[in-house]
Structure 1
């Protein structure tokens, strides 16, 4: 399966010096090439590692870092100190580096050759020495990086590198991410809003408002035959009542309208080069759309579901932060089987130890998380000023463990809130025909939900079966934002202390967020 990762590279730079002579540098180079080839052939890394040679001087380090900054294919740098590399020669290069950094603390050989080890071997194989020297200068310079410690041939070590690689790809993707907002925040909602300027400074993506008047030319340009073809595709892909195919019914017309909305949105997103979008009920075109046919007759829920599955970020009710975060989540999970979705805390189910939260939305839940083939249905939607029948995909999520996350604006910083959850089987909802998930937040409903609220978490979040907290930790490190994690070991007392320490940290270290 091809992914966008094929367009990216991770550069590998080995630290050395000329003190030990040319033969040592030749050996360092040979070992490094073997290690890079081994990683690429392991099958565990999603992005190709490209060996960029040894760095033996300050000028060489700086040149490599500048080249990495200017190469759009390079999404991150792996450094490893095979032998002792004096860290002062890394200062200028680290000062200019703008790409994510991973420091690999490993060694070419797995074990010490007890019977044959001599001083030449010691001088060459000094990762235990050189990596600490490099680690010191990174700490001294406050360089944000990931440190992976372990033997380079071990699968666990390779998989930790792979996590970081996926996050690097998502980070690179966000640096030219455009989110289009078809409407603003709704009903004075605070948690879905935030500082768009600081978001672009900190996380790279740009948010633009697009009035529906600018959408209408794309809507008018959609050809009926293309809509017909997409409707036929719906009927092939999803289970449905055969009566839905009756072109004389209003239900068929609603499916047709949903297909036209999807084609319109996709055309807009492609034309603008956008990677995500938001919608709301208040900006859908002509108010008399039932008679004029110019605009969306209801919120484009089916379109949003399908566009999310293609990788477009989505946030409901103008929630641009969730739209961007979902896109990042989708990029990190490229090629992984579990799936991801935008979700909303809908209602609570108090049931002792099985107390849980129903995750749904009016319509917009991504079919990537469906347990079975989604069902295409048309039902009345009585929310918003356009109350009418509308099409949607109906399903329940897979009962598995996953992780959900959200970003909130705390005024002086962004906070990434991550919660381990367990999706469980839900009972049928015959009167609520929407896509949904039912989960228990870790460590329990009471503690997990309380901690989320204490952290200022949104009612919207971005969920994945594949992406673990390690991915979000790497993302927060690269972005330079706060992350709090709610897991099986969380206690309210300890979590409150974590939040208090975060407040102190960012108040005392304002320069970290400037």
Structure 2
């Protein structure tokens, strides 16, 4: 789901004013746009349109990009182009935009003549065009750099990943099995405001439909999943065949319904499953493997958290659902875990990922097979999506590192200890003041800059703690 390259349209803007003076200018600048696309080939699959020299050209190009289901539009000034030709276009833009403030030659030399001035005059076209974007209320990113450098490719790649994540987010459906946890206030939000402002929508799925789907699954697909688990995990011999088959049917049933309803993220609540009366156990291992396949997930019916896990997976790599369990002041860290759901793609490389038989009183059901691991030590980032009321949303982000801390043998859940770069005290004071929620996504690596670009494009307030 989340490992394909971003697919970006390159919109090169110029005008026909200079054709008489420089008859070859359109072809020359078109070649320059193609060279820029080739420079970006490691970070995005680029579709380069012919130079847009009029309002009709620009609007036709962007319609083609939208119809091709691209992730975003990279705007390059091939010469100066008057912004009124693209003003209406930007007021109706549906795809994320980045304005690349670049020029063919990196330096001004004594050899330059009027032709060189014309080829390299993109900066004042960028100013006029950016002014039109601002007046149109368009959220956009800007990159000023030498185009034929790694720094340019890296920076555009960051925007392209954010564009890919945001474009997917705007059409996201989050399946909720049952209902959200009663009384959990930081997960509450206005569904209409969420879809208007950001795009994700909620699709409620009755637990009874999941139960029926489980029963209709053919035995061979269940066996296939169990065989795959035998090869991937260290499987607890205490798990019975019946326990594993029931868990497998839960996982396959959830994925079948997510596919049927077009949901790329979901949430289950233990009470909604437990109170139904037809289920034997909670789908713990299912959440872990579905996250590893690229689905967004959150517990307790938390749509906001499931949405941000989905965004994190597409923006940064594998998204790991977690929460802050307890502070450890001697190591200046926070124990991160949840009831038993976690993306095993972020597990340590030097320990096996285990599928265990694990007692769990929550839900008043039988023991749920659970995937257990410790999070890989190294740089990591937490992100929490906060509903502020109306159509205002905030993303609270903390960079830090997962410590190579001693094991906690009695903790039969995915876990790790996260040390914020600002320290536990300062981080938590700022997190709480910002209204950061108790469910969040963890991504490996320092990803605050990626999240900041995402927020810029999405119109979300970015708050780093």
TM-score, length-scaled by structure 1: 0.85
Structure 2 residue runs without a partner (length 5+) = none
Determine whether 1:397 maps to 2:393.
Answer: no
- 8 Å CA contact retained: 1:213, 1:285: no
Deviation at 1:194, TM superposition (A): 0.9
Distance 1:225 1:14 in 2: 53
Matched, 1:298 2:281: yes
Residue 143 (1) aligns with residue 132 (2): no
In the TM superposition, what is the alpha-carbon distance from 1:88 to its structure 2 partner?
2.2
Residue aligning to 1:499? none
Map of 1:120 onto structure 2:
115
Deviation digits for residues 466-497 of structure 1, max 9, x if unmatched? 461222122212221211112xxxxxxxxxxx
Q: Which has the higher contact order (CA 8 A, sep 6+)?
A: 2
* 1:83–1:299 CA distance, 2 compared to 1 (3 A): same
Name 1:63's counterpart in structure 2: 60
Equivalent of residue 234 in structure 2, options 235, 239, 264: 239
- Per-residue CA deviations over 1:66-103 (Å, capped at 9, x if unaligned) read 4434x142221111212221222221221222211110
Match of residue 74 from structure 2? 78
Contact 1:405–1:461 (Cα < 8 Å) also in 2: yes
Equivalent residue, structure 2, for 1:489: none
Alpha carbons 2:213, 2:253 under 8 Å: kept: yes
Q: Give the structure 1 partner of residue 343 of structure 2.
A: 366
Counterparts of 1:43-58 in structure 2 under 5 Å? 43-45=41-43, 47-58=44-55
Q: Which position in structure 1 is the counterpart of 2:17? A: 19
Query: C-alpha displacement at 1:185, in angstroms?
Result: 1.9
The C-alpha deviation readout for 1:411-459, integer Å capped at 9, x for no partner, is 1311111111211123222221111021012211100011111100111
Structure 1 CA distance, aligned partners of 2:72 and 2:320? Answer: 27
Per the TM alignment, residue 210 of structure 1 is displaced from its structure 2 partner at its CA by: 1.3
In the alignment, does 2:124 pair up with 1:129?
yes
* Cα distance in 1 between the residues matched to 2:124 and 2:276: 70
Instruction: Check conservation: 2:379, 2:445, Cα contact below 8 A.
Output: no
User: Quick one: distance in 2 between partners of 1:252 and 1:362?
Assistant: 23
Return the offset for 1:169. Answer: 1.3
Shift of 1:190: 0.5
Query: What is the CA-CA distance between 1:360 and the residue it aligns to?
Result: 0.6
* Compared CA separation, residues 268 and 467, structure 1 to 2 (3 A): farther
SS in 2 for 1:425: coil
Separation in structure 1 between the aligned mates of residue 27 and residue 91 of structure 2, nearest angstrom? 25
- Whether the 8 Å contact between 1:171 and 1:328 is mirrored in structure 2 is yes
The match for 1:472 among 439, 451, 465 is 451
| Residue of structure 2 equivalent to 1:496 | none
Query: Aligned equivalents of 1:25 and 1:230: distance in 2?
Result: 64
What is the CA distance between 1:344 and its match in structure 2?
1.0
Query: Which of 190, 193, 209 is the aligned partner of 1:195?
Result: 190
Once the two structures are superposed, residues 25-58 of structure 1 have per-residue CA deviations (whole angstroms, 9 ceiling, x without a partner) of 743443343443453355531x211111222223
> How far apart, in 1, do the equivalents of 2:23 and 2:139 lie?
28
Q: Which SS does the other structure have where 2:16 is aligned?
A: coil
Unpaired runs of 5+ residues, structure 1, are: 245-249, 289-293, 487-514
SS across alignment from 1:14: strand
1:350 pairs with 2:329: yes
| 1:338-364 deviations in Å (ceiling 9; x for gaps) | x4301111122121xx22111111110
Q: Distance in 2 between matches of 1:349 and 1:467?
A: 22
Aligned to 2:245: 256
Deviation of 1:384 (Å): 2.7
Report deviation, 1:305: 0.2
Q: 1:20 to 1:449 in 2, by over 3 A?
A: same
Residue-by-residue CA offset, 1:361-398 (whole Å, 9 max, x unaligned): 11101101101331111110122333x32211111111
**Structure 2 match to 1:313:** 296
Q: Is the 8 A contact 2:380 2:443 kept in 1?
A: yes
Q: 1:324 to 1:26 in 2, by over 3 A?
A: farther
SS in 1 for 2:270: coil
Aligned to 2:266: 277
1:5 paired residue number: 4
Structure 2 residue 81 is the aligned partner of structure 1 residue 98: no
The corresponding residue for 2:421 is 442
How far off its partner does 1:137 sit?
2.5
2: CA distance, partners of 1:200 / 1:42: 32
Q: Distance in 1 between matches of 2:233 and 2:313?
A: 22
Identify if the C-alpha distance between structure 1 residues 299 and 24 changes in structure 2 by more than 3 Å, giving closer, same or farther. Answer: farther
Q: Which residue of 1 aligns with 2:309?
A: 326
Q: Is the partner of 1:410 in helix, strand or coil? A: strand
Residue 202 of structure 2, aligned match among 203, 207, 210: 207
Moved more, 57-66 or 410-419: 57-66
**CA distance 1:140–1:266, shift in 2 (3 Å):** closer
Check conservation: 2:382, 2:440, Cα contact below 8 A.
Answer: yes
